[in-house]
Amino acid sequence: MQGPDARPGRLIKAPENFIDSSGVRTVFQQAKAGRRDFMRRAFATATAGAAAVAAAPLAQAQSNPVPTEGGDPNILNLPAHTTGLGQPVATDGYGKPSQYEANVQRRPSPGLTQTAQSSVSFAPLQSLFGIVTPSGLHFERHHQGWWDVDPSKHRLMLNASDASLMKTPKVFTMDEIMRLPCVSRFHFIECGANTGMEWGNVAVPTVQYSHGMLSCSEFTGVPLKLLLDQCGVDYKRARFVLGEGADGSSMTRTIPMELVESGEVLVAYGQNGEMLRPENGYPLRLVVPGVQGVSWVKYLRRIEVGDQPWAAKDEAVHYIDLMPDGTHRQYSSTQECKSVVTTPSGGQVLLDKGFYNISGLAWSGRGKVSKVDVSVDGGRNWRPARLQGPVMSKSLTRFYLDWVWDGKPAIVQSRATDETGYVQPSYRQLRAARGTRSIYHNNAIQSWLVQETGEVTNVQLS
C-alpha cells in the first residue's frame, strides 16, 4: 500500500483549495475507473497542509475556521472512504498502526552509544495514552544484541550455588511452565539509567529521550516462588536469587529473596495479551516489579539461589551509582517514586491559547501512587491532578489536570507521592544528596517551559 505523500515542504495554500477544477475532473474519471489513488493522496496532502497551518505559532493559530464558502471541504466533499468500498478482513494477519501514525516510533538517542547491539531505544511517551505501552513501542535495552529464540528449545533451569541450598535442581520446558498456575499483572519497567543524561544539565529535547526508557505492560507468568517451592529451597539460608539470560551477554543480576517470597516476581512469557516480543526477551523473562529494568533478565535460562550476592558485571561495573564521596552505591535496585508530564512536553508546540488537558505518568517502585500534584508556575503553586484508575501497585498511573493557558510563559511540572509517603524530589534536593555524577536513579521533578510562541522546551531551574 502506498504511504501518504511523504515529501516534506509542500504547503497547501488552504484546505478549501485542496482539489482544483482539473483535479475534480480527474477524480470523477478515476472514480469511474475504480481508482481512488489521486483522491486519497490529495486528501492526505490537504490534511498534512492543514496540520502545518495548525502547528504554527499563535499568529496563525486558529485551526478550525469556517471557510468563506460557508463550509469545510472535508465535510462538504465526501471523501473516498465515505463513498467507496473499503478493504477486506484479514488484509494483514497481524494488523498494523495507521499509516498516519508513522511518526510514533521508538528511537535511539544520537551519539548515546557507539554500538547498536549494546544500546537503547526510547519509547515515544509524548504520543501514548493511558498506561499500556504498545508492545512494538516498548523501549529496548540490549547488552549483546537481540534474538528470536525458538521456544520449543528454550529451557529454564533452577539450581543453587551450593547443593545444600536446594533439594532438587530442576529443568522446565516452556510447555511445562505454561501449564503452571499463572497470574497477569500490570507493571512498569524503567531502566535504572532513565533520565540519566539529565543529572548535570538539560541534555535532550523531548520526553521520549528524557524519560522514554520506561514502559508498562500486562505481564503474564508464573510466580517464581511457585517454581522454587517445587525445587525444595532452603529459604532460611538462600536469601539471594540470580537470574541469567540465554543470549550472548548471559546477563546476570542479583535480586532479594524477600521480593520472590512476596509472590511478585514472575517468570513471564505473556505481554499485553500475546507472547513477549523478541526484543523484550521472548519466550521468557524475569519480571521484578518496582526494580530497575536490568534485573528483568530477558531470554531467562537459569535461576540460581545462594547465600550472598554475585557482584555481576551489571552490579559491579555498570548500574552502580557514583556518590560525591567517590564511593559507588552497589545493588541499588528500587525505582523510587517519579512522574513526568507527557503532554505538553519538550519539542511540542501548543496550537492556541485556551483549554489544555495536561497529562502525564506517575509510578513508584515501592507500591501505589497516592497523589500527583501539577504546577504551571515553576513550582510556586500546585494543584492535585486527577488519577486515572485503577491505580495499581508498581504500575504506571495516568494523571490529568485541566489547564487554561493564557498565552504567557509557563513552567509545567508534576510531583508524585507514593503510598509510603515518599515525595518525588526536586533536582536541588536530589543533587544535595547524590551530586550530579550518579548516572542512575534520577527521579527528579521535570520542568517544561511553555514559551509565548507555544513552543515547549526542556529546562532545569535553580
Residues present in the chain in total: 462
Among 65, 71, 136, 263, binds other proteins (CB under 8 A): 263
223 touches other proteins by CB under 8 A:
yes
Of residues 16 and 373, the one with the C-beta less far from other proteins: 373
What DSSP line would sit under 235-279, residue for residue?
Answer: TTT--EEEEEESSTT--EEEEEHHHHHTT--EEEEEETTEEPPGG
32 touches other proteins by CB under 8 A:
no
Pick from 234, 349, 334: which is nearest to 290 by CA? 334
Stretch that binds other proteins, among 29-37, 64-72, 83-91, 318-326 (CB under 8 A): 318-326
Q: Least distance from C-beta 304 to other proteins, angstroms? A: 7
Taking CA atoms, 244 is separated from 116, 253, 298, 300, 305, in Å, by 22, 7, 8, 6, 11
**Interacting residues with other proteins between 121 and 180 (CB under 8 A):** 124, 126-127, 143-145, 157-159, 161-162, 168-172, 176, 178-180
Pick from 240, 193, 186, 225: which is nearest to 212 by CA? 193
Among 6, 24, 76, 78, binds other proteins (CB under 8 A): 6
Let me know: does 296 contact 245? Beta carbons within 8 Å.
Answer: no
Stretch that binds other proteins, among 13-21, 68-76, 97-105, 134-142 (CB under 8 A): 97-105
Task: Measure the CA–CA gap between 379 and 201, rounded to whole angstroms.
Answer: 18
Site string for other proteins, 179-198 (x = CB under 8 A): xxxxxxx-------------
**Interacting residues with other proteins between 290 and 309 (CB under 8 A):** 290-291, 301-302, 304, 306, 308-309
Q: Least distance from C-beta 27 to other proteins, angstroms? A: 22
Among 84, 248, 402, 406, binds other proteins (CB under 8 A): 248
Orientation of helix 21-33 relative to helix 37-54, angle to 10°: 140
DSSP state of 391: P
**Interacting residues with other proteins between 385 and 414 (CB under 8 A):** 411
Pick from 450, 461, 439, 26: which is nearest to 193 by CA? 439
Stretch that binds other proteins, among 20-28, 29-37, 74-82, 349-357 (CB under 8 A): 349-357
Among 80, 193, 222, 374, binds other proteins (CB under 8 A): 222
Q: Least distance from C-beta 15 to other proteins, angstroms? A: 12
Among 278, 322, 353, 407, binds other proteins (CB under 8 A): 322
Of residues 79 and 169, the one with the C-beta less far from other proteins: 169
Task: Measure the CA–CA gap between 448 and 439, rounded to whole angstroms.
Answer: 21
Which residues make Cβ contacts (< 8 Å) with residue 190, sequence separation at least 6?
Answer: 213, 214, 292, 293, 335, 338, 363, 365
Number of residues that bind other proteins (CB under 8 A): 172
Stretch that binds other proteins, among 19-27, 33-41, 73-81, 108-116 (CB under 8 A): 108-116
